[in-house]
A and B are shown apart, each in its own frame.
Chain A
Amino acid sequence: MSEKVLEIRDLRVTFDTPSGPLEAVRGVDLDVSAGELLGVVGESGSGKSVSFLATMGLLPARARVTGSVLLAGEQLIGASNKYMRSVRGRLLSMIFQDPLSALNPVHRIGNQIAEMLQSHQDLSKRDAEKRAIELLDIVGIPQPSERATQFPHEFSGGMRQRVVIAIAIANNPKVLIADEPTTALDVTVQAQILEVIERVQERFGTAVVLITHDLGVIARVADRVNVMYAGRNVEQGTIDSLFDHPSHPYTRGLLASLPGPGKQRLKPITGFPPNMLNPPKGCAFHTRCEYAAEICKLDLPELQTFGDLQTACVRVKELPKAEIRV
């Protein structure tokens, strides 16, 4: 396996809310290797975005973050603001969900890209603007030199997301975090944006973390997958093994709820995600799990190797083989 660029260990994020502390991320372990495309799946509130906002140091000050995040060997948790500023945009950058609001409406596109370049590289304004035009070309925006002088409202949603990607890759970061980059877009545009991300990853060797709730997106582009539930990693492995023989009951449920050829009915996961102010004792999924037993209510299950997957389920060896058709 190639070198690890991002190593997350026992990451915990707690928000103080009027109704008490809310632990949104409860001990996540996760590795990203150089040049790979890691998918992170989970439903809303599973802590997938919060984990990576914490990695970027972009959470509000009221969030308490503990654990360890090593980026190319450097610790990010507890690092100074100044150091985090030098990391953001240079080593780590992020693409956000809604391209319509992610760009500043009053500044020109070229200027917004040049700002990213100039904040980390010693470039003249002119060189930065030239480079910005090249970046627009790389992400597939036609007539980049004219488009650079335009404002965000003159771009369509898909084009704006390309601009956001151009900003994110401007300084050739080691890790690019894409937080639901296609959720707000049309299906046809989604495919184009995924292609841009893949192209960038291949061309620059950037490691990409693709956060999404859409397993279809993951299946298309990811090398490895992390499945998150209630602020924990419940299963991880390569894309093939996870889609072929998922072990964790939650992953099975997710795959069973996907439409596919030959499927007569979709099988939803019953119940609701847990209230994170008061998560269930033991395995957080036991309230919705069809294989739940008394033992599941005792302790939080840790990830353990099971075949070619790592699964956080105490009963994983006793479960029947999954019957999944995707």
Chain B
Amino acid sequence: MLRYIFRRLAWSIPTLLLVTFLVYLALRIGTNPVESYKRVNPRASRAKIQQYIDVNGLDPNFVQGYFKWLKNFITGDWAPSIKGRREVWPALKDAMANTLRLGTAATVVGIFFGLIFGVLAALRPGGRRDVFINTSAFVGISIPPFISAILLQLLFAVYWQRWFGFSLFPTSGVYPAGHTGFDLFLMLKFMALPTIIVAIQVIATYSRYMRSSLLDVLNSDYMRTARSKGISERRILIKHGMRNALIPVVTIAALDVGSIVGGLIITENIFSYPGMGLYFLKSFGEGDFPLLMPWMVVIVASILLFNLIADISYAWLDPRIRLE
């Protein structure tokens, strides 16, 4: 097992190199970072521009340039952003923290309720409860987040204000303007709406996963064997049913968490929530090469990591799977 993990981690290094090279190429060809720099800093001296090219590895030769960038990236010699010369790492770190907070809250809430609804639906397939849950899940998946977000903003901010004289949940940011320091209550209040929006989709998706996975299991022969042992229905459901039904769901969940690190672009944009998605939209809009490359590395690394976690959890839950 340890050997397997070690080998997978070792293999992720060439993967990371290849993917970052492709991303580097795409950004060089697609955005022309040098032009973006000149556009943002029209009065930059020739020497300044040359320094920008050097530290970011933007040589005319792509391969040479990539390795120059790689060397600077690994040694921690990161260029500041092209606009305002901000340090990249603190900005990226904050964005990651914000997204992880939102993503974790939404995923935990979403998967928890999604699994419950999925189980409730699967226990009486075709029943009224099943039809209701299934239909709601379908609606939940079908409504795009920018519609549901605006509806919730209207309800909890605009109309609430009109009816009760105050708004229940704020509609943008992580803290009120000018706030400094940590405040859990305020933070949760600001996170509430975006969390609900993301959670609705997670609930809808996972209730359907869980329903179909559990239905498969409930119809299997070993459930009949369990029943023929005369053990209680609750024990049959938990020990024999859920234990098997969760195997594929946990695997999918691990993969999903990996992609959440990339940010919840639409939701973060609507709520001006400064996470990874908004970070990407802003830096991409400005063609900010020094901000974009580390973002990409983080995304690729997290996807690789959570793929590995998915594989390990699969092998851990299912004794039939051997990691070789």
Interface, chain A (partner B; CB < 8 A): 56, 58, 84-90, 93-94, 96, 98, 101-107, 115-116, 119-120, 151, 153, 164, 167-168
Q: Is A102 a contact partner of B222 (Cβ separation < 8 A)?
A: yes
Q: Is B228 a contact partner of A98 (Cβ separation < 8 A)?
A: no
- Please, how many angstroms separate the alpha-carbon atoms of A84 and B229 in the complex? 11
Q: How far is the CB of B195 from chain A (nearest CB, A)?
A: 33
- Verify if B225 is at the interface (C-beta below 8 Å from A): yes
Q: How far is the CB of B229 from chain A (nearest CB, A)?
A: 4
Interface 0/1 of B178-206, CB less than 8 Å to A: 00000000000000000000000000000
- Verify if B42 is at the interface (C-beta below 8 Å from A): no
Q: Is A101 a contact partner of B221 (Cβ separation < 8 A)?
A: yes
Q: Is B232 a contact partner of A85 (Cβ separation < 8 A)?
A: yes
Residue of B nearest to A117 (CB): B229
Residue of B nearest to A89 (CB): B230
User: If A96-B221, A164-B225, A167-B225 touch, does A105 touch B318 (CB 8 Å cutoff)?
Assistant: yes
User: If A105-B320, A151-B319, A153-B320 touch, does A94 touch B228 (CB 8 Å cutoff)?
Assistant: yes
**B residues less than 8 Å from A84 (CB atoms):** 230
**A residues less than 8 Å from B93 (CB atoms):** none
**B residues less than 8 Å from A115 (CB atoms):** 229, 231, 239
Interface 0/1 of B213-232, CB less than 8 Å to A: 00000001110111111111
- Please, how many angstroms separate the alpha-carbon atoms of A85 and B228 in the complex? 8
Q: Is A88 a contact partner of B227 (Cβ separation < 8 A)?
A: yes
Contact residues, B220-248 vs A (CB, 8 A)? 220-222, 224-232, 239-240, 243-244, 247
Interface, chain B (partner A; CB < 8 A): 220-222, 224-232, 239-240, 243-244, 247, 317-320
- Please, how many angstroms separate the alpha-carbon atoms of A168 and B230 in the complex? 11
**B residues less than 8 Å from A119 (CB atoms):** 229-231
**A residues less than 8 Å from B243 (CB atoms):** 104, 106-107
Nearest 10 pairs of A and B residues by beta carbon: A88-B230, A89-B230, A101-B221, A104-B222, A151-B319, A89-B229, A85-B230, A119-B231, A94-B228, A116-B229
**A residues less than 8 Å from B317 (CB atoms):** 106
Q: How far is the CB of B220 from chain A (nearest CB, A)?
A: 6
Q: Is A98 a contact partner of B221 (Cβ separation < 8 A)?
A: yes
Q: Is A104 a contact partner of B226 (Cβ separation < 8 A)?
A: yes
Interface centre among B230, B247, B318, B320 (most CB of A within 10 A): B230
Q: List 23 A-B contacts (CB under 8 A).
A: A58-B227, A58-B228, A84-B230, A85-B230, A85-B231, A86-B230, A88-B228, A88-B230, A89-B229, A93-B229, A101-B221, A101-B222, A103-B222, A104-B243, A105-B318, A105-B319, A105-B320, A106-B243, A115-B229, A119-B229, A119-B230, A153-B319, A164-B225
- Please, how many angstroms separate the alpha-carbon atoms of A42 and B231 in the complex? 31
**B residues less than 8 Å from A107 (CB atoms):** 239-240, 243
Q: Is A120 a contact partner of B230 (Cβ separation < 8 A)?
A: yes
Q: How far is the CB of B296 from chain A (nearest CB, A)?
A: 39
Residue of B nearest to A97 (CB): B221
User: If A104-B244, A105-B319 touch, does A88 touch B229 (CB 8 Å cutoff)?
Assistant: yes
- Please, how many angstroms separate the alpha-carbon atoms of A87 and B226 in the complex? 14
- Please, how many angstroms separate the alpha-carbon atoms of A56 and B229 in the complex? 10
- Please, how many angstroms separate the alpha-carbon atoms of A164 and B244 in the complex? 19
Q: How far is the CB of B221 from chain A (nearest CB, A)?
A: 4
